[in-house]
Each structure stands twice: as structure tokens, then as C-alpha cells.
Structure 1
Amino acid sequence: MPVTYDFLIVGSGPAGSAVAAGLANSAKKPKVLLLEAGGDNEDRNCRVDSQRWFTLRNQDMNWRYKTVPQEHCLNREIDYPRGRGVGGSSAINFSIYNIGAHDDYEEWARFVGDDTFQWKKMHQRFKDLETFHGGLPEGVDKKYAAPKLSDHGTSGPIHVGYAAEWEDDVLPLLDLFQEAGFPLNPDHNSGDPLGMSVLINSAHRGIRSTAKDLLVPLPENMTIVTNFPVQRIIFKGKMAIGVESNGKQYLASKEVILSAGALDTPRVLMHSGIGPAKCLEEFNIPVVLDMPAVGQGLRDHVACPLMYTRTENSTSRKAFYGDKNTMDDALEQLKVECTGPFSKFACQMGIGWFKSDKLISSAEFQELPVDEKAFLLRETVPHYEIMTHFPMHWLIPGFRNEDLNYSCILVWYYNAQSRGEVTLQSSDPNVPLKFDPKFLAHPFDRRAAIEALREALRFTQYEDYAKDNVVELSAPKSHTDEGLLEHWRQTLVSTGHMAGTVKMGQLGGVDTVVDSDFRLVGIEGLRVADMSVVPILPSCHTQSVAYVTGMTCAEKLVAQYNLA
């Protein structure tokens, strides 16, 4: 006989773990089952801060998805990484922790008609989530980092803060940005990200925080089952009553909550008979609910690199990265003492968000819908992002040792208007969906990409930075619009911020799949709580948003079932 729990949560990433923890820790202690398709991710070495750049390659921790060939990116199939195992993508991400613009959350609340998602309430959830460590290395001026205590939490399960040591050229580079007209921001997690800042990491004392930290200590009323890839939902009429995988079932007396992410929640729904009827019938899947919007609306952030080798005296990267013994010794020091060169290199970066006047004055902007233009003009909403000190050499096969003394500037464009899709390609529920984000498909996206890259080049051509450049490793061959766009086509990568495939909206909306209480419209006892429901693409690296999405869903469930 299948075992019955009060609540079943499918997926243990940031959202799923937050839902599970919120329910299990409520006063009435319901029985909670958290199901994870991957393993338990117990290897502590995978949590060492500086190793964040390598977990992505761990085949046991990454589903290793790829997009379909992207028409506007030279038909390249682009890596589409998703975390596998307890912690989900928080176990393989790069520990970049920011929360976006307060106007993002005001827009979310407006769009779905629910003030639960307004900044004031979401901000409190961010504070409840984190323990912020605001200590800075000795001698760092407050102009670079001066967070207000009122903007941060002190007792949450996710530890965030600055690296213990910083590379010698971090602060001089920030000074150059300021001189070149990119103003400084002393705290990018205040609700106003605009300006150049130093990165806040989801790590502390050499150890990364992941969603697994929400589950420690494990409540007595919670069970975690790993290596259980949910294939479909079990229904009784139009009510979800459980899930199954390879013939094994678990049942829920109250609700099933899907938190498998923007790429896999639609897979579970479609193989359960919820999705576009025509597509389901093509793969002989009985239709439970015809819902054409399932799998539509995929959004993501993308980036491209600018890379230059530098003069010998402008960085010390080659001496460190080019000496395996030095790196091995530094890694052991980090594990034992939580300090040393490996907390210095690749753990503290510069990061900034900015607006582009040229983008706002473009024809492509003027042709956007009125609501979208109004959102892009809001005070705290950025149009692009710049990041410094990214260790790109670890992600490029065959990177030459002689080029290790280099500088990498990563460039993002934000608020893409392209809407991709995830669709069935097999009747086998173990086969991934087809992922087509349609990168650079919309004219506005191409304009945003061009202007973001042009702004970054304005910095790399700034005299006091450019004088130390020796060789271009990755840069546009020309600075015309077409030359800048070609650089994007050749180098664009996904940053793993997928969202929007099971969209939250107001009842009656043409693309609404779940309501603002996370309930799947037309089905009882089934909710979705992960980045797939988020109806905007927030101006940040989205692990933080996944956490508070799960926290918000848990709050609503606790209230509905009087669990407090």
C-alpha cells in the first residue's frame, strides 16, 4: 500500500526546500514528504566555496541539459545546466546572491493582483531567509560596501556575505568604473541594485550555503526520499492525490506541490495529462486538463564575455592559477582555516547593474507595449549587468597557461522580450523536454544586447583600464551594431535563470496556469511553487527569488490549513 503524507513536495531545490521547511516547521507539524530525483549530495567537498566553479561539471549533480539549436546564435546548442540532487541548482550554481529591484516585486504584485508579492513583504522574507555577514577585509573603504542592518537578516539558514580576502585589483577596478562614469553602490541587496558594487556570495567561512541548509536539522515530521524521479501525478477525477515513479506511489491527504523547476515542472505536468491537448495526444498521453500555456513563456538571462590578457604587474592571477601546487596548498588551507589565497581568488567579484539611455531612446523600445515600457522606466529596474573577476578560464576547454594573467568582464542584458517554450519530444516521462528559449529572437533583445555590450566596451576602452590590456582573448571584431551582435551570437551563454513556464496570473488571463495562491487552475490539491510560476524575470541572479517563492507558498498553505 502507498504511504500517505499530508503534503508531498516534488523537488528539493531552493523553492521546494523552502516549501517543505515552512510546512514541516509549522506549529501543527504536518507529515511532509520531500521527493528528490537525484542523490543526497552529501560530499562536503562540493560545498567548499572556491569549488563552486567545478560542481557544474559534476555529472552526478547536473542534468546537463542543452537547448535546441538557437536560430539567432549561429544554430548553437547551448548548455542549459540544472542541479540534480538535494539542494537542486543551489548545489551547482556560482553562489552569486542578489535579490533584484524592489520594482520587480511591485510589478509581480500588480500583474497577479496580490499584494503578498509586494516589495515590503518579499523584503521581509529575504531577511528571514539569510544570516548576513557584512564584515570586510581590513582597509576596505565604506564607499565600496556599507550595507544597512535594516536591509539584511541575522538569523536565517542561508549564510551570505563577502569573501574573507579580495584580489589586489578588485578595489582599483571599482575605482576605474567610477572614474569612467559607472557610479558605486554600497549594497546591491538593498532593493536598489543600480551602480557598481562588490558581490555578496551565498557562502561564509569557505563553505557555500545551499537549499539543503533549510533542512538541517531535519524535522521529525519530514521525510526526504532521494533518487525518486517523479514521472506523473496521480488523480482522482480532477483532484491530485499523489505521485508515482516506476510503479511506486506516494499519496497526499492534503496537497501535492510541484517544485521541480522551470524545465521539469512542465514535464511532470504534461506527462500527467496537463498541458496543450494537441501535443499530449500526439504522444498518446490521456488529457486530464487542456492547458495550452503549460510550457510556454520560457525566459532566461544570458551573458557574454570580454576578455583581455593584462600586463604582468596589473594582476597576480597567473602566479596563482598557473601553479598547481600553490592551488592545491591553498585549497587545503581553505578547508582547514577558512582563509588563504583560495578565498581570495575567484570568490570576490565586482558586480553592477545599470540603465541605458540609448536603449530607452531606441525604436525597439518605443515599439514595446505601454506596460512594458513603463516597467523598464521604473527607478530601480536595470537594463544590463556587468561582472568583473569571473574565472572564465575554468569554463573554457584548452585555455592557455600563458593567458592566465587576464581580466574578464561579463555582460548581461535584462528584460528580454523573447518568450521561449519547453515541449514534449517523447511519451517516455524520463526523457527531458525540448528546450527552446529563443535567445535574441526579439528585436528589443538584440538592441538591448548591442547597447549593453557597447556600455561595457566603454569601460574596457577607458584609458586607465585599456593601458594594461595586452591581447584581446574575447571581444567584438568591430564595434558596429552588427559586430557587437555577432559577438553575442558567437559567445552567448545561459546563466541558468529559467522562469515563467507555468505562469502565475489572474484568473481568466490567457496565459495563467496558477493563481496567486500557487494553485493550478482547474485542478484541486495541486500547487506549483518554483521559478516556473514567476511571471517576471527579476533583475538578479534568481536563486534568491526561488527561495522566497517557496517561502511564500508555504505561508499560504500554513494559513489555509491553520497550521500556525
Structure 2
Amino acid sequence: MRFLRNDVVAAVLLLAPFSLAAPTEYSKKLPQFATIINRRQLNANNATYDFIIAGGGIAGLTLADRLTEDPNVKVLVIEAGPIDPGLEGIQVPGSFSPWYYFWPNLLTVPQTALNNRVIGTVSGQVLGGGSAINAMVYVRGDADDYDAWGFMQRRGNSSFYGNSSVSSSMSWNTMLPYFLKSENFTAPDAAYALEANITWNPAVRGTSGPLKYTYPPYYFPGAANWWNAAQSVGLPPVDDPLSGVKNGIFPIPSVLDADTMTRNYAKINHHDRVKQARPNYHVLAGNIVGKVLFDPSCKKAIGVEYLPTSGGAATNVFASKEVILAAGGINTPKILQLSGIGPKKLLDKFGIKVVSNLPGVGQNLQDQPTLTVPYTFTNNLTPNSGSLMANATYNAEQRALYDTERKGAYTIISSLSTNIGQLSLKQATSDYQAIIAAARAANPADSLPADVDATVLAGYQVQREAILNQFEGDVGVGNLHWGTSDNALVYHLKPLSRGTVEIVTTDPLVNPAIDHRTATDPIDFAVYTALFRKNRELFAAPDMQVLGPAEGAPFAAATTNEEIIEVMRDQINPSNAHQCCTAAMLPKSLGGVVNSEQKVYGVSRLRVADISFWPMQTAGSPLGTMYAAGERLADMIKAEYGLA
């Protein structure tokens, strides 16, 4: 999906020294309500919490909310970023300005398959994480994605499974109840829904959870042309994109509060919603977790070391039950590595004492690369998504309509339209069998770094098998979207390439080396070329041709597959801010980092809650899955500790 270089699910982290002074009891001098506390308050009271959560994104705040439902449980969330005061660029879709809270200086290493470009990647650094800066798209993965996670789990030994009373075998059926629990859907006006092709199945829509979502009550007229053109090239309307099957075209559900038509994100739905009733729920913003502290006698997590994100002295805070990492696909593996959990070879390089030798930490990096295709039009319909920028009169009219009636173009994320298409490989190209055959004939080891650990390779082989099965079936491999103005967007949902995240220093304030290794597996280019050609086919359909589209440079001159690939090497963005899978929930023998209860191997009282635990990308944006996964993990933890 188009997340304008955003949507991620977290932000937070990392620190320094290491004192094992005995933790003191929780002090009643701390604030009486769920509060944003400061370092002075925390240090002065020498507080101990039951749970410390590193990262205040979707996963971290969902857990904090649910765990503090028990009044006897004390939770501290440490968030690297600030607290948004209600900036218009975050709250108002039509004023979308996510860069306020981009994690600073996140750059890749040179991408060898993309002409050695060094490219910025986006992660949220703000309370709410990626949910505060994404494009507000609410979709789930395909049902087979979650079934595939279960398929991969079953390929390992029985030690992978924990003892939770909550089902630890992942599948669509075990995830669906948590999707329903997490969400609060408001149906659009019936007449508008009919006009805008919005359909849904009430059985798969939750209506009483914290996360509010609906559909923008407006669409640009050109969206109808795109919709009809997409149907003419074989993309059928989808009855409900949240049903686990969404290949075709559908209006995009948006995390809009139907009453205010503003963004509903994790800070609002899992902190602000409950803060007046939760004296046991504290947030420390503007601080980064540097590492987890362990009792050296038993490798039990006892707390974390943290310091100001702007730099300064490190301090310790202690947890009597667990430390939970929810810092995102880039920063969670960084914290683990700085804490002595990761590949021994990497830890030895920086003189870090090995607490648990887990080669999979920081491996298996995945994202959903994006391609922006420019267009000019001789007869485009107006208004369109570009009119807000190009026409001051229209902009003023739409802003006034939004301010007075909560209607119009300002209810849509700036530069986007309201329809999107998802394609299986079969829908994208008639050559799908040849692509699959080439992928099956390739050596999986060629898709990973040359020095990859044998367990990580074994896990990748299982993933690859699952993905190629999806290629043969009906799971989405890509998205097409037109914002109704001057570009189209093509997303690759199921790349076979795998990247890495590795520390470059023991300084917790320094970003790790991020190597997406985008398109290092040549099959990714084959799939991307098929999606690109499908987009061309759509724009060549009569309903789009009446608008007079012309593909812009540098794509227009590319006709052969080889020429298209050469252009893509210069144009692909490796990241849609969906960095995942770097602390995978897989058996240890398959390069896994956490077990079925998301507990880190080789230590105790330490879990990973964020998108890092995913073993493999889903066909969709991460937001919905992370809310549901947070709910599921909260139930597991509550069951283990007998919490209310």
C-alpha cells in the first residue's frame, strides 16, 4: 500500500552502563494517573515496574493498555520520540506531513542490486510509532499468510511451543478473534457506500474495540475511471478486503475516527482512551533503551538501561516480571545485539559478552519495496488529488468543508486516492509458471549473504517454500494504486530477497547498518516487472485512455524486460516503512529468535512484541496485524501471570 515512505509499527530504544543494584518497591510518590513521566521523577523514586516495554508504537501501547487493566500491575513504556501535541499534519489526513517524526538519519548501506544507491528508510520516532505517521490504511494480510506462519512453525521441533492457554499455533482462525477484538468499525452512509463501491461483511468487522476506522466520505472523480479500467484488465471487485481474501480492487479502509474525521492511532486508542483511570500506566518519552539488563547468574532479564534520545547519562530501571521489546524491525534487533543476544561473531567484534548466541537476530529483514511511476495527462478529471496543491481556491473550499462538516478531500490522506488493487502472481502475468519454475530451480543460499548461519538458511528455505506455494495460489504479491494525479504506485508485497540489521558500534545512539539487499534475488525483478506491466495494461484500458495518460521519464522509453529492470534499479525504494521479521518467531533450528509465546531463546523474562517477531511479510500493511498481535500477546501474558 502507499504509505508515503511510512507505516511502521514502533520506534524506541537503547542505552549504556550496567549496575545490578537491587530494585526498590514501586513508589506511591509517582503520578496518580497514567502519565507522561520524566527522568527526574523516575530516578528520584527508584521505581520498579512489573513490566517494562521498550517502544511506544502499536505493539507497546496495546500491551501497556491491556496489562494495566489489572490495577495491581505496574507498566512503564519507554519511548524514544516525543509526544505529538496534535499537529495538523498528523491528525488531519489532507494535511499529511509525516516527516515531523521520522527517525533521524536512517540510511541503508549501498544497495548492490539498485546501482549501489544509499537510500533513506522511514521509522516513526513518536509516541504511537508508525501508527502516527503512516497513510492510515487499515487492511489485514491474506488468510494464507497467517496459515503460512503456522506452516513454518510446525517445521521445527516441539520445543518451539510454550505452555500458554492461548493458542500458540498461528493461523487465520487464531488471529481473526483478535482482529475483531482490536477494532471498532463505523459503517459509511448506505447511499454513499453504494455510490463508492464500498461493501463489507459484518461477520469479519469488529465494532467494539479501541481502534476506530471507517471510509473517507469522498472520492475524486478519476477514481471511477481507474476502478472501471482495473475491472477491464481482470481485477474484480472484492466483497470485503478484511475477509482474508482480497485479490482484486477495493476501496481502502482508513483509520479515521468517524466522528472527528481525524487519525485514530495508538497513542489515542491505547493510551489517551484509558489514561484517567490508570495510575499504574506510565510513559517515559524522549528516552531510548540501550540494552536489557540480566541477572548474570541465571540470564534472567531484570530491567533496562536507558538514556535521553538527545544524549546524556544512562540510567537503569527494573522490572519484576518481564522486559518486552517493542521497538520495531530495525531497533529491536539493535537492542538485542547491544544486550548480548545475537550472532556470536558480531558480538565478539564489538567486545559484547554473549548472553545468548542467536544467529537469527538482525537477519531475515524484509520490507515491501515501492515504485513510483510518473504520468502526464492531457484530459485528466478535476478535482483530483493534485488539486489541493495546484488550486488554492479548491484547497480553501475543501478545507472549509472539512472544518465545518468533516467532509471532502481533506478526509483522504494527501496525494492518495480511495481505491487500490491487489494481484496474485497469476493475475499479474500469464508467465507466472515460468517465474515459479525459475525460483524453484535457484539455490536458496544465493539469496542470502555468503556467510549466513546454517540455521538462518534452513529457516529461509522453509519461508521460500511457503512463498512459492503462495505464488502458485491466490495470495497477493503486489498492489497497484493511482492517486488520480501525476503518478501511479506499484508495491511488491512478497520479495524473496532478505536483508540484515547489524550494530556498527556499542553506542546506543548510533543507528545500525541497514541492508535491505533489495532485489538481490533476481526473481524479485521478475515479479516486479510483471506488476509494472500490469499497471501499464491498466493505464492502456479505455477508461483510463480517455484521460490521455502518458508515462513519464525514465519509464516511457523502457520496453523490454531488461530495459524495465535497468530503470527500476534507479527507481525502486527498498522500504515502504514496513521493516519486519528481524527477530523471527521460528524454531531455533530455523534461525528463530523467539518461540510461540514470543519469548527470546536462551534467556528468561524477555519477549519481543513488535513486527520483528513476524517470520514473513503479509500481503498488506502491518497496522491491522500488529494491533491484533498485541491483543493476542497480552492475553498470553495475562494467562501466564494470572492477571485480571
TM-score, with structure 1 as normaliser: 0.91
Distance in structure 2 (CA, Å) of the matches to 1:201 and 1:465: 25
Native 8 Å contact 2:356 2:601 kept in 1: no
CA distance in 2, matches of 1:64, 1:154: 39
The separation in 2 between residues aligned to 1:319 and 1:352, in whole angstroms, is: 23
What residue is the counterpart of 2:305 in the other structure?
244
Q: 2:502 aligns with which of 407, 423, 430?
A: 423
**Match for residue 8 of structure 1?**
52
Instruction: Quote the residue 2:491 is aligned against.
Output: 412
Please give the per-residue CA displacement for 1:48-80, whole angstroms capped at 9, x wherever unaligned. 33256312x21x453341211111112112221
8 Å CA contact 1:50, 1:347 repeated in 2: no
Match of 1:403 in 2: none
The structure with the largest strand share of the pair is 1
Aligned residue in 2 for 1:228:
287
On the 8 A contact 2:186/2:214 being kept in 1, the answer is: yes
Aligned twin of 2:438: 364
Per the alignment, in what secondary structure is the counterpart of residue 541 of structure 1?
Answer: coil
Does residue 1:343 correspond to 2:411, yes or no? yes
Whole-angstrom distance in 1 between the partners of 2:402 and 2:102: 23
CA displacement at 1:211 relative to structure 2: 1.0
Residue from 477, 486, 499 that aligns with 1:383: 477
Shift of 1:554: 1.1
Question: Tell me, what secondary structure is at the counterpart of 2:329?
Answer: coil
Post-superposition shift, 1:161? Answer: 1.7
Query: Could you tell me which of 32, 41, 52 is aligned with 2:84?
Result: 41
Cα pair 2:417 2:482 within 8 Å, conserved: no
Aligned-partner Cα distance in 2 for 1:512–1:79 = 28
Output the CA distance in 2 between the equivalents of 1:483 and 1:45.
42
Change (3 A) 1:335 1:509: farther
Question: Structure 1 residues 557 and 484 mapped into 2: Cα distance closer, same or farther (>3 Å)?
Answer: same
Q: Quick one: distance in 2 between partners of 1:437 and 1:375?
A: 23
- Whole-Å Cα distance in 1 between the matches of residues 420 and 408 of structure 2? 22
In structure 2, do the counterparts of structure 1 residues 313 and 255 end up closer, same or farther at CA, with 3 Å as the change threshold? Answer: closer
- The CA deviation string for residues 136-183 of structure 1, in whole angstroms up to 9 with x for no partner, is 584553782210111101111111121011111212320121122221
For 2:369, the equivalent position in structure 1 comes to 302
In structure 1, how many angstroms separate the alpha carbons of the residues matched to 2:543 and 2:220?
19
| Residues 19 and 550 in structure 1, CA contact (< 8 A), matched pair in contact too | yes
Please give the alpha-carbon distance, in whole angstroms, between the structure 2 residues aligned to 1:559 and 1:77. Answer: 45
TM-score between both structures, scaled by the size of structure 2: 0.80
Q: CA deviation at 1:234?
A: 0.9
2:569 is the counterpart of 1:489: yes
Matches for 1:6-405 after TM superposition, within 5 Å: 6-25=50-69, 27=70, 29-51=72-94, 53-55=96-98, 57-58=99-100, 60-113=101-154, 116=168, 117-136=170-189, 138-141=191-194, 144-204=197-257, 205-212=260-267, 213-215=269-271, 216-218=273-275, 219-237=278-296, 238-245=299-306, 246-312=313-379, 314-317=381-384, 319-324=387-392, 326-328=394-396, 330-331=398-399, 333-343=401-411, 346=415, 348-357=417-426, 358-362=431-435, 363-367=437-441, 371-372=465-466, 375-377=469-471, 379-389=473-483
The alignment yields a C-alpha RMSD, in angstroms, of 2.2
**How big is the shift at 1:93?**
0.9
Measured at CA, do residues 499 and 320 of structure 1 come closer, stay the same or move farther in structure 2, by a change above 3 Å? closer
Matched positions, count: 545
Could you say what secondary structure the match of 1:207 adopts? Answer: coil
Instruction: After superposition, give the CA deviation of every residue in 1:268-323 in whole Å (9 maximum; x if it has no partner).
Output: 11111111222222222222222221111100101112232223453323544212
What 5-or-longer segments of structure 1 have no aligned partner?
A: 391-405
Aligned-partner Cα distance in 2 for 1:359–1:496: 28
Q: Distance in 1 between matches of 2:617 and 2:400?
A: 39
The amino acid that maps onto 1:389 is G
SS of alignment partner, residue 517 of structure 1: coil
Deviation at 1:332, TM superposition (A): 5.0
Distance 1:199 1:514, change over 3 A: same
Q: Is the CA contact 2:80–2:285 (under 8 Å) kept in the aligned structure 1?
A: yes
Unaligned runs of 5+ in 2: 1-23, 25-45, 155-160, 162-166, 307-312, 443-460
Q: Distance in 1 between matches of 2:103 and 2:95?
A: 13
Pair 76,141 (structure 1): closer, same or farther in 2 beyond 3 Å: same
Alignment match of 1:501 (pick from 582, 585, 590): 582
Gap change, CA 1:198 and 1:487, over 3 Å in 2 = farther
